[in-house]
Structure formats: C-alpha cells, structure tokens
Amino acid sequence: MPSRAPVPPVICYPVETLPRPDLPALRAACDGMTCVATHIAPPREAACFEVKAGQAFRITSIDGPQVGDLNLWNAHDLSERFYSGKTRALHGTHVTEGHQLWSSFPTLRPMVTITRDTLNWYRFDADGGGIHDVIGTRCDPYTHHLLSGQDYHHCCHSNLTRAVAEHLNLSLSEAECHVHDVLNVFMCTGFTRDTQQYFMKASPVQPGDFIEFFAEVDLLCALSACPGGDCSATHSSDEAKCYPLEITVYDLARAPDGWSAPQTNGYDRTHGI
C-alpha cells in the first residue's frame, strides 16, 4: 500500500468572487419598516404567504421554543425554488445574517438575504451544532414509514403539501411535487463527530427571537411548525410540545441604497453543444 500523506482541505466554492449584499444598506432600509400582514403557522401545520421583492419578512417565536421548515418559490414560476444544497455549498451548513438563500438552476440567484438573526450569537457549540441549517431535508412521512412502518400525517412535508394545495387550489399530488428541501429555521443541528450522522438538539430559541429576510424576488413562501417542537427529543409524532410561529411581512419606507432585483444566472445553457 502506498502511503498517502495528509493533505489540507480546499474550499470547494471560494466566495471571494460571490456578489455580496450590502447588509448595512439593507438594514438601514428595514429600519422603520411597516408591518402589512401577519400570518400564523399553527403547531403541526403550515402557512403559505406571499412577499413582494423589496419587502421584508420575519419569522418569530411567540409562545414557546419551536422549529420551522421554510420553502421559497418565485411567485410567478414555481420551478424556481430554494436550493438548499447549493446554498450549503456556498455559505456552509448553517446560515445567518448576511447569507443569502439561493434558487435552483437555471436561475441560481439570491431569493432572500438574511438581514437580522437574534440567534446569531450561538455560532457553533462544542458538539458542532449550529442554528438555521441547510443540511436537513424536512421531516416526512416516507422516511418515517421506512423506519417505523407507521403513517404520520403532520410531518413538515405533509404540512407544507396541504398548505400549498390550499393556497394554490391544487390537488395534494400536484402540490407535493413543489415541496422541497427546507431552511430549518431555529433548529439546532450538526453532524456527530464520530459517525458524521445528522443530529438535532434542543433549540435555544425563545419567544421574541426572530430571523428577518429581505425579499430579492417576488416570493411564495410556506412555513411549517415542525411536529418536533424544539426538536430536543423526537419528531414525526404528536409527542413533542409544539407552538405556533408568527410570520410578519413589512413594507420598507424606501428601497435599499444601491439595491436592484437580482438577474437570472448568466450561463448561456448551451452545455458544450
């Protein structure tokens, strides 16, 4: 066996050339913003809501520690949707202030910019856990059935499916194919050190904590209040204590200085032909 010397890791996607948002300008424009709509994602249910480009929205913990699963679509073209995997490749396993949530191919552009995050202080704990991950998928009845043989109907995947079906007047099967991997809002997760398995632990979120997004494009959004509650013990069941999540949508007093809606990706799509 030839010996193989350790080699250093290389960042797959260096972000030095990634166009970056002007966070101070976005935050300044969000100061004094006006709430124009409020929605509630009830426990073990989901809410659908729309946000215009240039508006902001917050997801807030209100009654108790609760994790949320967030989907985003271009409101005018549902085939453009949040791309969890590429967001992870660009920004890392967990996102916070200054990070953007990117859309699917072929658009690959920022859908939202995270402008404020009251759990930004958490960073990464001794177990490697962080907040707001893009490493999980969403709890779903298929994996639950695979592992337990049981059917449970209030996983985030089903909650999102029902909410999208109702909001867009689609059948469940039509709506289900639009549901995609989520941003796990407020969830504390990581990979175990020894086996690199996905883990969760009790979220530090408390009532009053929020994450705030600036909408870069017109959005259709869906948020599920996960049946795992604070995800300290279990999910995909009615066992955990669950709370609602509040969504507030805001008009900004003015457009952020220097901001313009993001263009679709510049690749010519000829794929070498």
Q: Which residues pair with 199 in a beta bridge?
A: 190
Nearest to 96 by CA among 76, 78, 121: 121
197 class by beta-carbon count within 10 Å (0-12 exposed, 13-18 middle, 19+ buried): exposed
In the complex with Zn ion, the residue whose CB is nearer, 111 or 226, is 226
185 binds Zn ion (CB under 5 A): no
In the complex with Zn ion, the residue whose CB is nearer, 160 or 215, is 160
Question: Binders of Zn ion among 196-235, rule CB under 5 A?
Answer: 226
Residue listed under structure tokens 């108790």: 64
Sign of the four-CA dihedral 70, 73, 79, 84: negative
Structure token pair of residue 166:
């109702």
Question: Binders of Zn ion among 50-79, rule CB under 5 A?
Answer: 69
CB of 169 to Zn ion, least distance (A): 25
In the complex with Zn ion, the residue whose CB is nearer, 111 or 187, is 187
CB 189 within 8 A of CB 69: no
In the complex with Zn ion, the residue whose CB is nearer, 140 or 216, is 140
* Backbone φ, ψ for residue 161 (5° rounding): -60, -50
Question: Binders of Zn ion among 100-159, rule CB under 5 A?
Answer: 139, 156
Number of residues binding to Zn ion, judged by CB under 5 A: 4
CB of 68 to Zn ion, least distance (A): 8
In the complex with Zn ion, the residue whose CB is nearer, 83 or 186, is 186
3 state DSSP class of 62? coil
DSSP 66-93: --EEEEEEETTEEEEEB-HHHHHHHH-S
CB of 198 to Zn ion, least distance (A): 13
CB of 120 to Zn ion, least distance (A): 23
CB of 159 to Zn ion, least distance (A): 8
CB of 138 to Zn ion, least distance (A): 6
CB of 20 to Zn ion, least distance (A): 31
In the complex with Zn ion, the residue whose CB is nearer, 226 or 252, is 226
In the complex with Zn ion, the residue whose CB is nearer, 69 or 246, is 69
| Contacts with Zn ion, residue ranges (CB under 5 A) | 69, 139, 156, 226
